[in-house]
């Protein structure tokens, strides 16, 4: 089924985020099988939300997949442990897997798709989608990208690399893969300082079930978290005051 045609009537079961006060604001957690975009400027706490989300799953005995655009997975583990998330033991036991998104590999999407299909992960994080949307993966002749076929999604179209249609194809492709019946995904997206858009690619916000906006008010030395959208959920639109401490994100 295409991501745009998703009809999901099962809204009862909720996936807790690992941040209890956030769960309270969204009827107990993220809708099962949903994709939620965590958008914000650099340093706004997007990655830390992902840490909470992974830790919660691991505490519940769930298998978790962390797709990262940061090659230095060791650094991620170190940064996480400094905030009190001790992921190494779960990597060792096989419950948590990190995959570096290597754009030099033309089969990157196939690898991710197979991992999600066969890995038994109930939680997937993509941190972040921004390089995915901006990096040409399928350059065929130095200028154009040819988008390979996926199940039920066949095209032989050539699209100029780096163009808006190419960006959209990448975002749609990765969203299709994350739109798996067995997992619930968090996707982070970098937005430039002062932008009114909810993602740099300006398309991912339309393809997801939920949007959490992370904000910095530097002049007031404050941080805010706003739920902008959440499928089948009545929620407040009011920005919530948060802080980041040694234990991660805390609501004030």
Ligand X SMILES: Nc1ncnc2c1ncn2[C@@H]1O[C@H](COP(=O)(O)OP(=O)(O)O)[C@@H](O)[C@H]1O
**Which residue ranges make up the site for ligand X (CB under 6 A)?**
40, 42-48, 82-83, 244-246
177 token code pair: 């893969």
Q: How far is the CB of 89 from ligand X (least distance, A)?
A: 20
- Nearer Cβ to ligand X (23/70): 70
Least distance in angstroms from the C-beta of 8 to Mg ion: 28
Query: Residue 73 CB, nearest distance to ligand X (Å)?
Result: 15
Give min distance, CB of 164 to ligand X, in A.
25
Rounded to a whole number of angstroms, the minimum distance from the CB of residue 128 to Mg ion is: 6
**Listed residue (47, 105, 113) closest to 77, CA to CA:** 47
What are the beta bridge partners of residue 245? 248
Residue closest to 85 by CA, chosen among 39, 127, 52: 52
Question: From the list ligand X, Mg ion, none, which binds 83 (C-beta under 5 to 8 Å, kind-based)?
Answer: ligand X
CA distances from 251 to 27, 74, 188, 219 (A): 17, 29, 20, 20
CA distance 138 to 161: 8
Q: State the first-to-last Cα distance of the chain, in angstroms, to the nearest integer.
A: 41
Instruction: Give every strand in the sheet of 240-245, ordered side by side.
Output: 96-100, 64-68, 123-127, 184-190, 35-40, 210-217, 222-230, 240-245, 248-251
Please choose which of ligand X, Mg ion, none residue 178 contacts, taking the beta carbon within 5 to 8 angstroms, the exact cut-off set by kind: none
Site of tokens 């959208």: 229
Q: How far is the CB of 81 from Mg ion (least distance, A)?
A: 16
User: Whose Cβ is closer to ligand X: residue 46's or residue 172's?
Assistant: 46
Question: Out of Mg ion, ligand X, none, which partner does residue 45 contact, by CB within 5 to 8 A per kind?
Answer: ligand X
Subset of 11-70 contacting Mg ion (CB under 5 A): 47
> Which is nearer to ligand X, 5 or 82 (by Cβ)?
82
Which CB atom, from 47 or from 167, has the smaller least distance to Mg ion? 47
Considering CB under 5 A, how many residues would be counted as binding Mg ion?
A: 1
| Cα–Cα separations (whole angstroms), residue 60 to 46, 55, 90, 172 | 22, 9, 12, 30
Query: How far, in Å, CA of 129 to CA of 101, rounded?
Result: 10
Nearest CB to Mg ion, comparing residues 79 and 180? 79
Shorter beta-carbon distance to Mg ion: residue 47 or 122: 47
> Mask: binding to Mg ion, 124-163, rule CB under 5 A, as x and -?
----------------------------------------
- For residues 208 and 187, the answer to whether their CB atoms sit within 8 Å is yes
């Amino acid at each position: 089924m295409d991501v745009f045609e998703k009809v999901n009537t099962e809204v009862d079961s909720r996936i807790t985020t690992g941040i209890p006060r956030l769960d309270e604001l969204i009827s107990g957690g993220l809708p099962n099988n949903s994709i939620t975009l965590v958008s914000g400027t650099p340093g706004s706490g997007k990655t830390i939300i992902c840490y909470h989300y992974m830790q919660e799953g691991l505490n519940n005995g769930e298998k978790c997949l962390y797709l990262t655009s940061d090659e230095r997975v060791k650094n991620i583990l170190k940064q996480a442990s400094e905030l009190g998330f001790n992921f190494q033991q779960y990597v060792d036991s096989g419950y948590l897997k990190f995959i570096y998104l290597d754009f030099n590999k033309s089969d990157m999407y196939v690898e991710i798709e197979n991992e999600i299909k066969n890995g038994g992960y109930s939680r997937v994080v993509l941190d972040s989608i921004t390089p995915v949307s901006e990096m040409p993966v399928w350059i065929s002749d130095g200028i154009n990208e040819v988008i390979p076929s996926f199940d039920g999604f066949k095209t032989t179209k050539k699209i100029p690399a780096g163009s808006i249609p190419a960006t959209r194809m990448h975002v749609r492709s990765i969203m299709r893969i994350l739109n798996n019946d067995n997992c619930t995904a968090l996707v982070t997206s970098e937005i430039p300082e002062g932008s009114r858009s909810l993602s740099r690619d300006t398309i991912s916000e339309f393809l997801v079930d939920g949007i959490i906006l992370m904000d910095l008010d530097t002049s007031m030395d404050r941080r805010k978290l706003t739920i902008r959208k959440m499928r089948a959920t009545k929620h407040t639109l009011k920005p919530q005051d948060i802080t980041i401490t040694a234990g991660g994100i805390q609501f004030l």
